[in-house]
Chains A and B, each alone.
Chain A
Amino acid sequence: MTASIATSQTILVVGGGIGGMTAALEAAECGKQVILVERNPTLGGRTALLYRYFPKMCHPTCGLEINLKRLKGNRKLRVMTQAEVTAVSGSAGDYTVTLKLRPRYVNKNCTACGDCGKSVAGEMANPYDYGLSKIKLAYLPHAMAYPQRYVLDPAIIGTPNAEKAKAACKVGAIDLDMKEETVEIKVGSVVWATGWKPYDAAKIQPYGYGRFANVVTSVEFERLADPRGPTGGKLLRPSDGQPAKNIAFIQCAGSRDENHLRHCSRICCMASLKQTHYVREAYADDAAGPGKSTIYYIDIRAIDRFEDFYKKVQEDPTVQFVKSKVASIKQNASANLILHGVDTEGYHRYAQEHDLVVLAIGMEPEANGIKLPADMLVDSSGFIEGSKDGGQFAAGSAASPTDVNRSVQSATAAALRAIQVVHRTAAVEEAT
């Protein structure tokens, strides 16, 4: 009973993507104290890196903006970026969580004017474009970044570059003496919204990702289509910067494969169907004719209410469907790609040439790369089912492969479960 009295009413949400933001907001709007920790310098997760959503083809900026507005107006919610959970001890209702806080080297004074970014020399591969572009070593992650503050990459600390950035800042926002910190917090329940990562496409050896420049993943294709992306929204081939007009989409790239990811990632069919819209729109006014999309699939899983979306794409004459898992890809002298395989509707052997190949890459749980508490239950793919003691839950694509819509639903459910945990302990306190 004494342990219960010390119980914290606070809910910790790990991961600040669309799922984590939702879980944190739902709990905070119910009046609970919530701490939202995010490993990266900004909230928004992978959702912020999408160009548009299916099925309504609206932009993620819209949904993120609404959530950020809710978040800014909520006094119960505390956001910590560049914060990583390193240990969880205790039990349901009474956890002690150790957080590692990495320094941003930029304080609250920052106005996101960008002077520091202009002043520093040197660039790195931009993680917010999946490495398709370069970013300065003093940077704002992206336009929707929250907090809207620049970040200094740790690589420039102790170099003349850091001093240059400091000198360029007119508002005194750069603090080069910030240090890494470790803090312990007490919480009653934990929601793991650690999300997903694209499966390592280079492991699918016969598809040549990493060897053939014009084989890209679906998440990279989102960046190519985004006007704020590396190509300004033009669908240009990485090899020569020429417009890609004959694009192949390969489904189940990593998913539903015992050699890679054994689960169906559920979003990839819809993602490719959505991306055929990008292709059609990109060349809508092209005098040389429309762009062509070809989807190579085992079966199209337009789950739930999305059948209509699939039907519409099927009616589009610029989109062709080939029922076949591509066996291998070869590259020819003009860096075009030849897709080899046998189709299932007639068993015809084909060798089709395309100028760009998009791998509809599977979702791997991000939790596969992080250390989870010992009593956490995960499924055979690494998706989190929750803790054995019933005080920790998973939300969104940390729990199973989900699109944004289902991630938000799952996060709301997880928030409710977490609230139940902290309420339960409160009732015990009152009883004593």
Chain B
Amino acid sequence: MSDHNNQAVARYRNDFLKEVEEHVEEGEWVKMCMQCGVCAGSCPLGAHWEHTPQKLFMMIRAGKREEVLRSDAMWMCTSCYNCVVRCPRHLPITHIMHGLASYAHRLGLAPKNQPTREFAKIFWDNLVNKGRVNELKLTLALYFKDGLVQGIKNALAMQSIGLGMVKAKRLNPMEIFGGHGLRDLKGFQAIVAKAREIEDKKKGYTN
């Protein structure tokens, strides 16, 4: 658990809705939900979630902070936007889901070993490293995230696809030695750092 989390708890006490409104992307929309349930009913993955958007919004309003931020539901969103299209009040539900996921991650409350979150982390680190996505390293990092044995199993299972991609020149094995990157990598990393600084300032984080 991070300092952000302690700050947030101290500041908002039981008013989790207010916290969400201030810190979660599009969070100010949560209070507009009228609990009709169309988002939950139209979500293609709905049956596999612990908490549907409708339920999450009600939990936010009920102050169930821990349960919401530790939920893995928002990490399951595939951004199909069906809920946004169907919502009778035009809530940007998909954006709120991603906003909640990002906020939970920032506070250090997001569920550990959640595959979507793991992938997002690997993808981000991979991207920021060179300013370009190194697909070979990304794939390997994903395969081996659960250890060497599982990694080898995964790699073997996907062997034919991998070889096919190499043959079709869609995957360069030489990328393993560093790979391609941006010409002005330092500039790029400065941009990312600045963006983070602006966002932190906007959301009131001190570090």
Contact = CB atoms under 8 A, between A and B. Distances in A.
A349 B42 CA distance: 11
What is the interface of chain A mostly: helix, strand, loop, or mixed?
loop
A295 to B, nearest CB: 14
Contact of B36 (A206, A252, A349): A252
A344 B41 contact: no
A49 to B, nearest CB: 28
Contacts of A299: 34
Interface stretch (B14-22, B85-93, B105-113, B182-190): B85-93
Given A259-B88, A342-B52, A298 B34 contact: yes
Interface residues of A, number: 21
A9 interface: no
A342 B90 contact: no
Contacts of B55: 347
A324 B41 contact: yes
A59 interface: no
Given A259-B88, A340-B41, A347-B54, A324 B36 contact: yes
Interface string A346-376: 0101000000000000000000000000000
B42 A325 contact: no
A264 to B, nearest CB: 11
- Interface size on B, as a range, is 10 to 19
B64 to A, nearest CB: 13
B167 to A, nearest CB: 43
A72 B90 CA distance: 50
Contacts of A349: 40-41, 46-47
B35 A342 contact: no
Nearest to A251: B36
Contacts of B35: 298, 344
Given A347-B54, A347-B55, A328 B90 contact: no
Contacts of A260: 88
A258 B88 contact: yes
A252 B54 contact: no
Most buried by A among B46, B55, B86, B88: B88
Interface in A377-414: none
Contacts of A328: 41-42
B88 A327 contact: no
Contacts of B40: 327, 341-342, 347, 349
Contacts of A344: 35-37, 54
B148 to A, nearest CB: 40
A348 to B, nearest CB: 10
Contacts of A184: none
A326 interface: yes
Contact of A327 (B34, B42, B89): B42
A65 interface: no
Contacts of A206: 42, 86
A298 B36 contact: yes
A53 to B, nearest CB: 28
B173 to A, nearest CB: 46
B133 interface: no
Nearest to A350: B41
B38 interface: yes
Nearest to A346: B55
Contacts of B86: 206, 259, 327
B198 to A, nearest CB: 32
B37 A324 contact: yes
Contacts of A341: 37-38, 40-41
Contacts of A327: 37-38, 40-42, 86
B11 to A, nearest CB: 30
A326 B35 CA distance: 12
A298 B85 CA distance: 18
Interface string A290-321: 00000000110000000000000000000000
A252 B52 CA distance: 21
Given A206-B42, A342-B54, A347-B52, A325 B37 contact: yes
Contact of A325 (B36, B46, B90): B36
Nearest to B36: A325
A30 B90 CA distance: 48
A343 B37 contact: yes
Contact of A342 (B34, B46, B89): B46
26 contacts: A206-B42, A252-B88, A256-B34, A256-B88, A257-B88, A258-B88, A258-B89, A258-B90, A259-B86, A298-B36, A324-B41, A325-B38, A325-B41, A327-B38, A327-B40, A328-B42, A341-B41, A342-B41, A342-B52, A344-B35, A344-B36, A344-B37, A344-B54, A347-B54, A349-B40, A349-B46
Given A256-B88, A325-B88, 20 more contacts: A252-B36, A258-B89, A260-B88, A298-B36, A299-B34, A325-B36, A327-B37, A327-B86, A328-B41, A328-B42, A341-B40, A341-B41, A342-B40, A342-B41, A342-B52, A342-B54, A344-B37, A347-B40, A347-B55, A349-B46
Which 9 pairs between the two chains have the least Cβ-Cβ distance? A327-B41, A325-B36, A342-B40, A257-B88, A341-B41, A298-B36, A342-B37, A324-B37, A258-B90
Interface of A: 206, 252, 256-260, 298-299, 324-328, 340-344, 347, 349
Interface of B: 34-38, 40-42, 46-47, 52, 54-55, 85-90
